[in-house]
Structure 1
């Protein structure tokens, strides 16, 4: 029987998540990760695998702990409420922590070396899956008359994702919560509504 690990795996994962969030996949050095986790490199990789495996675990943790506002949004009654909850949730998350602004899913890897390509693709796939869920919810809204017959759910879903990703980029660049909230409201001002006068 092996010796028990001398560190808390969950705490270590939370610590390295913040490093990846702040520095991105390639910007986070092994020294950064081990220092944040408070363990030596062999112990860290014994627990999580290599750097890519560690990042994937951190990304899963990020989705579970920080992006819960998205599945919450998909349960709301109207498409506009869904859109508002997503955009304002993005503003909140991307400006909540001064030491790591922006979004791990965006900051992770937008462009990188060939070695980082599997991670970049994993992030693209994760964003695509989220967009597909949003598109499905908006298709339902259109079928229910909550969106007009002329609405294009796939374009609206892509529009919301584009604005929310832009919020993440601008938060990382230093935009204030107030400015990003105003941008979210500007985007919502263009949101189409269905024919039901009650909506």
Structure 2
């Protein structure tokens, strides 16, 4: 049925955001520099941080042990923590186990080491389906695992943030941490992809 009145037209999102910011600042709710501070934080929350952690764990057995024992401390050791970085748990993949993370309520992840979540991670379809049919969801995302590999899905909460420690691919012996980090993507850290040697930087 057609609506008898023309649709309401809203100002562009950027204009709405600016007006809201100005109103909050004028009423003393938002201090000066608050938005800029978070913009700077977001700029530093990138999956390259998690890739560096994985590469260090692959090359340093002592660091790997720390990561699996106390993920928060291991991340802090490399300078990653702060807001949204409390109580990070690293989940180790094995030849018979693939870990996958989800936030069934919203979109929580270990943002300081994974970066902001991709759109598909926030979608209701992923959040509802991966806990029920993980193997099929992973296949649709491009990761077909043999039946011999168990898939364990971990539900992130506001208190516990997960990251996946992928298996180190064969043929990477002797690689530098920088080169190893170049094959670890955000999808690897979520658990829906495996490191790809073809993407390695020289």
- Highest Rg: 1 or 2? 2
TM-score by length of 1: 0.27
Q: What's the TM-score, normalizing by structure 2?
A: 0.27
Task: Judging by fraction of residues, say which structure has more strand.
Answer: 2
Higher normalized helix content (fraction of residues)? 1
